Amino acid sequence: MIIHRGCSHLDKGDQVWKAGEYTNALAHFRTYVEHHINDAFGWCLLGDLYRDRGDFIAAETAYATAINCPLDSLPAYKQYQAHYRRGLLYQPLA
């Protein structure tokens, strides 16, 4: 299982996202997933940022990548999150 504590790009990306620095957050999240391609949580955060910025195609791609990550990249109780977040993309269409 991947442990996320102390992951500078995830932590820094989250901090700058909360400060409204979306471009900087995107760079941190992209760097993280480039180095941790099987980390579903990182892909979910990237998808969340894309969704919040209105780039639904990129968000769909990030969530689909998260769904295809190995199951052990998240604890069992969080393995549904990529599916849930992906579903949020389609909620406004209903």
- Structure tokens, 79: 């393995």
Has residue 94 got a pLDDT over 60? Answer: no
Question: Which range (15-19, 52-56, 63-67, 81-85) has the least confidence?
Answer: 81-85
| Residue 4 in this model has a pLDDT that exceeds 60 | no
Tell me whether residue 42 is in a domain: yes
Q: Count up the domains in the chain and report the number.
A: 1
pTM of the model as a whole: 0.80
Residue 1 lies in a domain: no
CA distances 75 to 52, 55, 80, 89, Å, are 25, 28, 10, 23
- CATH assignment of the domain containing 86: 1.25.40.10
| Average pLDDT over every residue of 81-87 | 86
CA angle 81, 84, 90 (to 5 degrees): 150
51 domain residue, yes or no: yes
Whether residue 47 lies inside any domain: the answer is yes
Domain with 21 in it: 8-93
pLDDT reading at 1 higher than 60: no
The stretch 76-86 carries a mean pLDDT of: 80
Residue with structure tokens 């999150």? 81
